[in-house]
Amino acid sequence: MPSDHVTRRGILRGAALAAAAGPALSPAHAAEPAKASKGTPMTPVELTVNGREVHLQLDPRTSLLDALREHLHLTGTKKGCDHGQCGACTVIVEGRRINSCLTLAVMHDGESVTTIEGLGTPDRLHPMQKAFIVHDGYQCGYCTPGQICSAVAVLDEIKAGVPSHVTPDLDEVALSDAELRERMSGNICRCAAYPNIIAAMKDVAGEAKA
């Protein structure tokens, strides 16, 4: 970690300010704030997020991703494509990994959500978080929260015997590099940290120690 007070977040904040001073940016990818347009009634939504019960009043259009980031300020979960193609928004809902951008928060009323913030904290890292650090499973880090949420769920899916496209025999699901690569194909990494992500996952699965 840097010894002075320069952090990635600080740099990003600076960059955002610099950009704001320039010409107006296209708002296409900016998160829409949750103000309901006229005639759209706000809907109450109760979620258990990282073990904490939260009560929200949301425009029904609010995706689970925007509810987490814009309303609960859990900005660990990232918005990449916002169309289910990149996996940066992956969170675990009721024990299963999903793209939080392609689901409405209101559809998950009463359900429990785990985000990267709920897996571990800087002082008590989840084994998968630790393994990503040890194996250098990221560069820019933008896709990492989604990668880690997905990776945790993938190991559970293999344990539960859920087959994949590369499973040779549908009834014998076993951990392998090919299985991990196939199952992680919904999480894109622009920096191509893929080999190290696989190493981190194998480490956590107890397959190979670095």
Partner 1 sequence: MRPFTYERATSVEGAAKAAASVQGARFIAGGTNLLDLMKLQIETPTHLIDVNHLGLDRIEITPEGGLRIGALVRNTDLAADKAVRRDYAVLSRALVSGASGQLRNKATTGGNLLQRTRCPYFYDTRMPCNKRQPGSGCGAIGGISRGLAILGVSDACIAQHPSDMAVAMRLLDAQVDTVDGAGARRSIPIADFHLLPGDTPHKETALKPGEIITSVTLPKPVSGTHVYRKVRDRASYAFALVSVAAIFAKDGTARFAFGGIGAKPWRVAAADAAGKQGAKAVAEAALAGARTTEHNDFKKALVQQTLVSLYRQQEARA
Is 74 or 106 the residue whose CB approaches partner 1 more closely?
106
Determine the number of helices (DSSP H) and then strands (DSSP E) in the chain.
Answer: 7, 5
Minimum CB distance to partner 1, residue 36 (Å): 8
Q: Closest Cα partner for 197 from 187, 38, 156, 15? A: 187
Instruction: Please report how close the Cβ of residue 117 comes to partner 1 at its closest, in angstroms.
Output: 19
Q: Which is nearer to partner 1, 93 or 193 (CB)?
A: 93
Rounded-to-10 torsion of CA 41, 64, 94, 115? -140
Q: Give, for 180, the enclosing helix (H) or strand (E).
A: helix 177-183
Q: Which residues bind partner 1 (CB under 8 A)?
A: 36-37, 39-41, 43, 59-61, 63, 82-84, 87, 90, 96-99, 102-104, 106-107, 109, 150, 153-154, 157, 160-165, 167, 170-171, 181-183, 185-187
Largest CA distance in the chain: 58
Give rounded-to-5 percent helix, strand, coil for the chain. Answer: 40, 15, 50
Euclidean distance between CA atoms 13 and 10, whole angstroms? 5
- Nearest-approach distance from CB 35 to partner 1, in angstroms: 11
Q: 61 vs 125, which CB is nearer to partner 1?
A: 61
Decide whether 167 or 196 has the Cβ nearer to partner 1. 167
Q: How far is the CB of 175 from partner 1 (least distance, A)?
A: 15
